[in-house]
Amino acid sequence: MGRKLLFDKAHIEGIRYYDVYRANGGYGSAEKALRSMTPDQVLDEVKKSGLRGRGGAGFPTGMKWSFIAKPEGVPRYLVCNADESEPGTFKDRYLMEFIPHLLIEGLLISSYTLGCNSCYIYIRGEYAWIPDILEQAIAEAKKNGWLGKNIQGTGFDLEIYVQRGAGAYICGEETALIESLEGKRGNPRIKPPFPAVKGLWDCPTVVNNVETLAAVVPILRIGGEEYSKYGIGKSTGTKLISACGNINKPGVYEIEMNISVEEFIYSDEYCGGIANGKRLKACIPGGSSVPILPANLLLKTAKGEPRMMTYESLADGGFATGTMLGSGGFIVLDEDQCIVKNTLTFARFYHHESCGQCSPCREGTGWMKRVLQNIENGKGKMSDIDLLWDIQRKIEGNTICPLGDAAAWPVAAAIRHFRDEFEWHVLHPEEATKRNYGLAHYADPLQIAAPAAV
Amino acid sequence: MFSEEKLNKVKEIIARYPAGKQKSALIPVLHLAQEEFGGWLSAETMDYVASLLQIKPIEVYEVATFYSMFNLKPVGKYVFEVCQTGPCMLRGSDNIIDYIKKKLDIGVGETTKDGLFTLKTVECLGACGYAPMMQLGKHFREHLTPEKVDAIIEECRVKAN
C-alpha cells in the first residue's frame, strides 16, 4: 500500500464532522502553526516541502506565497480555487465532500502564513450541494474557536466564505476567477500585474487549488523536510489522481509520486486494469488539456524507461513523446475508442468555454470543432488534417490566458500520435461511421534506436 | 420581489464583502433569483437584482449571459443536464442522450409539451469517474443506464403530482 497524507483518515466514519476530525488529530497542524511558529517559519516549512500547485501548473507553492506584496494598511486575500472544471478532474470534489475540515484547516494555516483575515472558497456552481457541507464545517470550526475573532486566543482573526460560480471553465484561471468573484464575466486579466500584487479588489491575493491548500496540513504535521522525502526528485509528496474512462475502478486515488503509470493502471490498489478485458489504446494523464499518448509511449518513455507518475517523468520527451501530470485527471481509452471522436468532444468543450476575449481562441476553437466534426462525420478531406495542425499552431501562445494552449494541445497531440487514424477516417468515410479504427499499432513496442557500435 | 427571508439572505451575502463591493454578490443573488422565480432569469428579474445591488442593469445582463447555469428563457420543471464531454462519451453518454430524446420525444434544448422536462447537453461537470451522468437540480445523478433514466423520469412525475 502506498503511503497516504491526505486520505489517511478518509475511511473513518464521520470524518466529515468536526468532533471526529478533531478526535483523530485534526487541527493539530493549525495548533502547532498558530501557537508555536511565526508566519515566516510556516512559509519555510512549505518551501522545504517542495509542494507544487496541484491545480495543474505545478508552480512551487512556497515561492508563490513569497511573492505576495505587503503594503501597509491594505488587506490581503487568500482565495481557494475550487472551480475544478478540467475534464477528467474530480479530486477536489471528493476532498471537500468527505473531509471538508482538512481544507478548512489548510486555509487557516495558509491565511495565518500570508496574513489574510478573509478567505474565499470559489467553488464551481454545478457542485451545488457542496457549499452546504463546507458551510457546516465552517460553522463547526467557528463554534470551536478555529475561525472568527482571536482564534484560540492567539489574536489572529479569520473568516472563510463560500462563493458559488455559475458554469464557466475559464473561472479556474486565477485572474478570471478573481473577476468572477468581483461579480463580473470571467475574462482573464492581462498579467502583470500578478494577483500577488493586484488581485481581488486590487489587493494582494494568493489563489491556490483545494488540494494544494489541504496539503499544507500534513506538511506542518510531519515537517517540510519529511514531506519532501515522499515521491521522487522535484515531485514531492502525494498527489490525488482522479481516474476515469475505460478502467475497472474509476475513482479518486491518493498516490505517492513514486509509482509507475503501469502500476497505477493495472494494479488492484488503483485502476484495476482496463474494463471488460480490453486492451489499453491511449491515455490523457493530466486532464483534457494535456497531450494524449498512445499506450506504447505512455508506459515507457522514448528512451525505453518505465514512465512514472511524476511531473518530470510524464513530461519526459517534451510534447514530442511526453505529456504532463497536470491536474491529475487521468482519462483512459480502451481499444474500441475513437481518437477523432474523443478529440472532437474536447474541441467542442474548449469552444464552449472560450471567454471570447482573444480572437485566436474565440475563432480558432470553433473552427477546429467544425473541421473535426466533418472528419468524424465522413466529410473530411486530407488537407483538413494539416488545416487542424495549422489552426492549433496559431492559437498556442497567442492568447491572454492558457485556455488557448489548453485547446490547442489535445488537437496537436492527437494528430502527432494518431495521424493514421485521422487519415483512415478521411479515406474510408463509410466504414468510419460504422466501426472504429481499433488498437492498430498503438500498443506495439517502440523501436528504440540501438546505440551505435563502437 | 423576494420574500423577507430571501432579502435577509441577500443582506447576509453582501456582508461577506468589504463595504462598497456589493457587486461581488451578483452571482450568488442571481442563483437565488433563478431558484425563486421559476428556474430562469427574465429581464424584469435581472433589473430587480440590479436595483437590489445598486448596479446598472447592463452589469447584470453581461454576467447572466456569460455563465451557462443561468437560463435566459423558460425551462421545464425538471431540467436534465446530461454531460457529453470526453470521459462521459467514453462511457456511453451518447446512448443516454439518445434514450432520453426518444423517451421524452424532445430534442436537445427542448421542453416537453406538459412543461415538465427540458433536455440540455452540458460540458464536463466533474463526475468523470461516475459516468455517464446528469445534473438534476442541486444534485448529480451518476452511473446512468436506460433503467435509471426511466426511474428518474417516474420519480419526477410522481413529485410533480
A90 with B138: Cβ contact below 8 A: no
Extract the C-alpha cell encoding A150: 482571536
pTM of the shown model = 0.96
Q: Tell me the pLDDT of chain A averaged across its residues.
A: 96
Average pLDDT over residues A151-179: 97
Q: Is residue A145 part of a domain?
A: yes
Average pLDDT over residues B54-65: 98
**pLDDT beyond 80 at A452:** no
CATH number at residue A216: 3.40.50.11540
Q: In chain B, what residues touch A183 (CB-CB under 8 Å)?
A: 23-27, 53, 55, 59, 63
Q: In chain A, what residues touch B129 (CB-CB under 8 Å)?
A: 90, 242-244, 250-252
Residues A204 and A319 in one domain: no
**Touching B: A residues 211-250, CB under 8 Å:** 242-246, 250
Residue A449 pLDDT class (50, 70, 90 cuts) = low
Round to whole Å and give the CA distance between B36 and A369: 37
3-state secondary structure chain A: CCCCCCCCCCCCCCCCCHHHHHHCCCCHHHHHHHHHCCHHHHHHHHHHHCCECCCCCCCEHHHHHHCCCCCCCCCCEEEEEECCCCCCCCHHHHHHHHCHHHHHHHHHHHHHHHCCCEEEEEECCCCCCHHHHHHHHHHHHHHCCCCECCHHHCCCCEEEEEEECCCCHHHHCHHHHHHHHCCCCCCCCCCCCCCCCCCHHHCCEEEEEHHHHHHHHHHHHHCHHHHHCCEECCEECEEEEEEEECECCCEEEEEECCCEHHHHHHCCCCCCCEHHHCCEEEEEECECCCCCEEHHHHHECCCCCECECCHHHHHCCHHHHCCCCCCCEEEEEECCCCHHHHHHHHHHHHHHHCCCCCHHHHHHHHHHHHHHHHHHCCCCCHHHHHHHHHHHHHHCCCCCCCHHHHHHHHHHHHHHHHHHHHHHHHHCHHHHHHCCCCCCCCCCCCCCCCCCCC
Residues A117 and A223 in one domain: yes
Residues A370 and A393 in one domain: yes
What percent of chain A lies above the pLDDT cut of 70?
Answer: 98
CATH number at residue A354: 1.20.1440.230
Q: Tell me the pLDDT of chain B averaged across its residues.
A: 97
Average pLDDT over residues A233-248: 97
Round to whole Å and give the CA distance between A232 and A230: 7
Residues A214 and A101 in one domain: yes
Question: CB contact, 8 Å: A78 with chain B?
Answer: no
pLDDT in tens, A394-403: 999 999 999 9
Residues A268 and A354 in one domain: no
Question: CB contact, 8 Å: A341 with chain B?
Answer: yes
B128 with A245: Cβ contact below 8 A: yes
Cis peptide before B132 (omega within 30 of 0): yes
pLDDT at B161: 86
Residues A84 and A214 in one domain: yes
Residues A110 and A30 in one domain: yes
**Which residue range(s) make up the domain with A367?**
339-437
Q: Label residues B117-126 b or e (16+ Cβ within 10 Å = b).
A: bbbbbbbbbb
**pLDDT beyond 70 at A24:** yes
Extract the C-alpha cell encoding A78: 487568500
Average pLDDT over residues A304-315: 96
Residues A128 and A183 in one domain: yes
pLDDT in tens, A118-140: 999 999 999 999 999 999 999 99
A349 with B25: Cβ contact below 8 A: no
In chain B the domains, ranked by start, together with CATH numbers, are: 4-66 (1.10.10), 78-160 (3.40.30.10)
Q: Report the domain count for chain A.
A: 3
Q: Is residue A171 part of a domain?
A: yes
Cis peptide before A193 (omega within 30 of 0): yes
Residues A402 and A276 in one domain: no
Average pLDDT over residues B47-74: 97
pLDDT in tens, A272-301: 999 999 999 999 999 999 999 999 999 999
pLDDT at A445: 87
Q: Is residue A10 part of a domain?
A: no
Q: Is residue A8 part of a domain?
A: no
Those residues of chain B whose CB sits closer than 8 Å to some CB in chain A are 16, 18, 21, 23-28, 30-31, 53, 55, 59, 62-63, 66-70, 84-87, 89-91, 122-131, 135, 137-139
**pLDDT beyond 90 at A346:** yes
Residue A448 pLDDT class (50, 70, 90 cuts) = low
Q: Is residue A1 part of a domain?
A: no
Query: At which of A229, A262, A280 does a domain end?
Result: A229
Q: Which residue has the higher pLDDT, A449 or A419?
A: A419
Does B128 appear as a known binding residue? Answer: yes
**pLDDT beyond 60 at A222:** yes
CATH number at residue A257: 3.10.20.600
Average pLDDT over residues A43-55: 97
In sequence order, what are the residues at sequence separation of 6 or more whose Cβ sits closer than 8 angstroms to the Cβ of residue A286? A56, A314, A323, A324, A325, A326, A327, A328, A329, A330
What percent of chain B lies above the pLDDT cut of 70?
Answer: 100
Average pLDDT over residues B83-99: 97
Q: Is residue A391 part of a domain?
A: yes
**pLDDT beyond 60 at A407:** yes
Residues A280 and A354 in one domain: no
Residues A168 and A249 in one domain: no
CA dihedral sign, ordered B27, B28, B32, B33: negative
Among the partner residues B27, B70, B87, nearest to A183 by beta-carbon distance: B27
Distance (Å) from the alpha carbon of B71 to chain A's nearest alpha carbon: 11
A125 with B67: Cβ contact below 8 A: yes
Distance (Å) from the alpha carbon of B148 to chain A's nearest alpha carbon: 20
Interface confidence (ipTM) of the complex: 0.97
pLDDT at A453: 57
User: Which is nearest to A346 in space by CA: A389, A291, A297?
Assistant: A291
Average pLDDT over residues A431-443: 93
Q: Is residue A51 part of a domain?
A: yes
Cross-strand pairs, A254: A240
pLDDT at A451: 57
A86 with B21: Cβ contact below 8 A: no
Residue A447 pLDDT class (50, 70, 90 cuts) = confident
pLDDT at A390: 98
Residues A395 and A422 in one domain: yes
Q: Is residue A4 part of a domain?
A: no
Average pLDDT over residues A411-434: 96
Burial status of residue A368 (CB atoms within 10 A of its CB: 0-12, 13-18, 19 or more): buried
A86 with B125: Cβ contact below 8 A: no
